[in-house]
Structure 1
Amino acid sequence: MAAGCLDRWKKEGADEAVAAVMALVDAVRSSKADSMAGLQAEVKAAAEELKCLDSEPYGALSAACGMFVQYLRRGGGGADDQPAPSSAVKRRVVGRATRFGDICRGARGTIATLCQDFLLDGCTVLVHGHSAPVLDALRLAGTSGKRLLVLCTEGRPDGAGLRLAGELAAAGVPARVLLDSAVAYSMAQVDVVLLGADLVAETGGVVGAVGTYQVALVAHAMGKPVYVAAESNKFAKLYPLGQKDIEQGVARAVDFGDVRVPAGVDVEAPARDYMSGQKWNHPPMVITGDKKGERKRQYTDFAGARTPCSPNGNPYIPVSSNSTPRVTMSNTRVLYPRTRWTRSPRSCLLAPTTQHAVAASFARSRNVRDAPNTPDRCAHPWT
């Protein structure tokens, strides 16, 4: 049943992870369980059925299913051994499940809106792989009148960048295809690097299309800001310590054109790599926001996104330093602690940045000398 619902939602245009969430919402609505424990068992069984259909060993579909089950369990509204869920409790459970699905379905639009502060008129954006949130953000920037030039890496071995460039061109956004090996060559003309993510680990690191890590390393070495756009239904219970901790799944065939691979030579073609979110971990942190000697600026907005404060102060809500724990990407605390980020589905744009980068960005775009003072930390949506 869950598999059939998944196919139906995918036919309606939902991506795999969102379709899985909506299939679980349907499972909650149609449940005939006579206890809360029975309802949770049915949902868990449906989630396990869907996880078997994941195209990756542990992909966004599995992460979304795990997050949904935990979210539902934390807000069930009744004891596990309750003989029969009352109508009020059942309505509450269905309401929570529906709200989860609605937020996941609208996450990409929220992220696209939040990204506009990073996409300035006349800037050159480097993207890697094929990411739906990144595509939506660039489309929105194009329709709002911003003049962008998007450099799309070819994204071997599956040519994801070619597909992204075609979709951008169809939307009227100027795009060029860049050889994967020419990233460093072209980085000097890039203003911002915007990346997608397959998964966001508990370390705050990002699992993305292979090449994501090396693109971020080059940008970091050349002083270019690196931002990652990802829905929070991609937050996974993973704690990788290095590249070899990432499961790659089925090996992909690589086409070298007219050149043949010599006999006896193996081809290593991983599908994903890992970009750390913590300075002390390996590989080192390369997401913008950690320069030695500079005071780091971390922000959380109403939708759970970490972004620099906007010039008018909205929608970022400053609070006192004692009202919320410090969350950074450079200390040993995980980006979103397990007991917190699994409580509520939120759209997420991972974009920590330094005060200097914010000041320079807004000074260029708004012809002002100094960006406004911004708070060190802001209210979390779960507090």
Structure 2
Amino acid sequence: MTSTPFDVCSAYEHILEDENISTPLASILALVELMENSAAGTMFELVKELKDGAEALKRQSSNSISLSAGTELFIEFVTLFPHDASSFLELKSELIRQGHNYVTEALSYRQKIADLAFDFIKDGSIILTHSYSRVVMQTLLWAHKRKRISVFVTEARPRGLGIKTAEKLTAAGIPSTVILDSAVAYTMNMVDLVLVGSEAVVESGGLVNAVGSNQIAIIAKAMNKPFYALAESYKFHRLFPLSQYDLPTHNSQLLSFSLPQGRTHRNSTASRARPGSNPPVAGIRPSDPAEDRKITQEQIARNNPDVDYTRPDLISLVFSDVGSLTPEGVSQYLVGMFAG
């Protein structure tokens, strides 16, 4: 009887069912489980299996940026791990133990970040946040225990996760209002500071986060409002986008132009009847132009990005478990982190 091969993607999806586990940590735990089920007999074989597992996770994800931050961090850790183990099995067991320990410790990072950000939130502050972020939520709940705060939350289309944020804030007794994404500039004059989470903080010190973060940062900068990013260090990612279109999530299907069915860019009037043209085929109903013109929310979501890139010059500070960093400080930390 043959055993079923380990499915790293299924393990990853199962781990993500835990509300407290973020995407990078889920990817790390999935690779730890892969190690536990690995039959590799050498370090070279084990690292190859981990890299193959990371690639499999990326292929099944529509947004692999924060996932990649976790897998790259863990594989780098495994590759550079100093040891004096007497056997490969002993080394593998130690790596598995260290992986679990890291995730357990990493779950405390949000509170460290909340403690840092707390001092920048004054009593009576009106805060703007975007979409849904676990670390931002923990920071707001922590601030609410000792200070009076009110929160504007963007709707955050296409996923609409701002509504989830507002519901949780309201349940905790924090005054909150959901605003349209298009009402950010209208609202910004009432705001004292902006707090956003992150999918990843990249080598430039810039931010990858839910789409709309960039325009919020631009508006905040124009109105002299501080724009703070909150990010656990496992979201620091060796990626250096120069524009929105350098992100791994960008593809040719995003923001593409479409025409009604049966039309072409070169000749949109080709279907019109002309002298000598063939008559309509009997039994085939011509398409309804009104139906062709209908646009659904699903179509809009498919044609738009999930994340965008915010330049480092638009970010006031990055609050992380390793400290309050300027965007330049993030760059220096990343260099040190992956320098071995």
Query: Aligning the two structures, in what range does the TM-score lie when normalised by the shorter sequence?
Result: 0.7 to 0.9
CA distance in 1, matches of 2:109, 2:60: 23
- Which of 14, 19, 24 is the aligned partner of 1:17? 24
1:306 corresponds to which of 300, 308, 324 = 324
1:26 counterpart (28, 33, 37): 33
Give the 3 Å change call, closer, same or farther, for CA 96–41 of structure 1 in structure 2. same
SS of residue in 2 equivalent to 1:62: helix
Residues 60/133 of structure 1: CA separation in 2 closer, same or farther (3 Å cut) = same
Distance 1:238 1:112, change over 3 A: same
How far, CA to CA, are the matches of 1:59 and 1:137 in structure 2?
23
Which residue number in structure 1 is paired with residue 14 of structure 2?
8
**SS of the residue 2:129 aligns to:** strand
What is the match of residue 331 of structure 2?
335
> What is aligned with 2:284?
none
Distance in 2 of aligned mates of 1:77 and 1:343: 18
Q: 1:248 to 1:186 in 2, by over 3 A?
A: same
Structure 2 gaps, min length 5: 1-5, 256-289
2: CA distance, partners of 1:205 / 1:109: 23
Name the residue aligned to 1:94.
96
State how many pairs are aligned: 293
Contact 2:197 2:209 in 1 (8 A): yes
Partners of 2:201 and 2:153 lie apart in 1 by: 22
Q: Paired residue for 1:180?
A: 181
1-structure distance, mates of 2:319, 2:199: 21
SS for the counterpart of 2:143 is helix
Equivalent position SS for 1:306: strand
The separation in 2 between residues aligned to 1:178 and 1:61, in whole angstroms, is 29
Letter in 2 for 1:120: K
1:152 and 2:187 correspond: no
Instruction: Report which stretch shifted further, 14-23 or 214-223.
Output: 14-23
Which residue, 122, 128, 140 being the options, matches 2:142? 140
**For residue 209 of structure 2, what is the aligned residue in structure 1?**
208
Which ranges of structure 1 fall in alignment gaps of 5 or more residues? Answer: 253-259, 278-284, 290-298, 308-327, 345-383
Structure 1 162/64 Cα, relative in aligned 2: closer, same or farther at 3 Å? Answer: same
Quote how far apart the aligned CAs of 1:235 are.
2.1
Q: Deviations over 1:168-211 (max 9, x none)?
A: 11222110112222222222221111011112111110011121
User: Cα–Cα, structure 1 residues 263 and 30, in superposed 2: closer, same or farther, change >3 Å?
Assistant: closer
Asked if 2 retains the 8 angstrom alpha-carbon contact of 1:124 and 1:191, the reply is yes
User: Structure 1 residues 16, 160: closer, same or farther in 2, change over 3 A?
Assistant: same
For the Cα contact (< 8 Å) 1:28–1:97, is it kept in 2?
no
In the superposition, the TM-score normalised over structure 1's length comes to 0.67
- 1:85 is matched by which residue type in structure 2? F
Written as runs of structure 1 = structure 2, the 5 A alignment for 1:18-167 is 18-56=25-63, 58-77=64-83, 84-85=87-88, 87=90, 89-142=91-144, 144-167=145-168
Aligned with 1:159: secondary structure?
A: coil
Residue correspondence of structure 1 range 284-303 to structure 2 within 5 A: 285-288=313-316, 303=321
Matched to 1:167, the amino acid is: K
Which amino acid is 2:43 matched to? M
Determine which structure has more spread, i.e. the larger CA radius of gyration: 2
In the TM superposition, residue 229 of structure 1 has moved relative to its aligned partner by 0.6
Q: 1:141 to 1:343 in 2, by over 3 A?
A: farther
Once residues 236 and 291 of structure 2 are traced to their aligned partners in structure 1, the CA distance between those partners, rounded to angstroms, is 38
| Alignment RMSD (CA, Å) | 3.3
CA distance in 2, matches of 1:118, 1:72: 37
Change (3 A) 1:262 1:107: farther
Q: Do the aligned residues in 2 keep the contact of 1:77 with 1:92 (CA within 8 Å)?
A: no
Give TM-score, length-normalised by structure 2: 0.75
Q: Counterpart in 2 of 1:272?
A: 307
Same amino acid, percent of matched pairs: 33
Contact 1:152 1:164 in 2 (8 A): yes
CA distance in 1, matches of 2:121, 2:339: 31
Alpha carbons 1:72, 1:97 under 8 Å: kept: no
Contact persistence 2:116–2:324 (CA under 8 A): no
Mean CA deviation greater in 222-231 or 111-120: 111-120
Q: Which runs of 4+ in 1 moved over 4 A?
A: 249-252, 260-268
The structure, 1 or 2, with the larger RCO (C-alpha pairs under 8 Å, 6+ apart) is 2
Q: Which residue of 2 aligns with 1:364?
A: none
Q: Distance in 2 between matches of 1:334 and 1:17?
A: 18
Contact 1:151–1:178, Cα closer than 8 Å, also in 2: yes
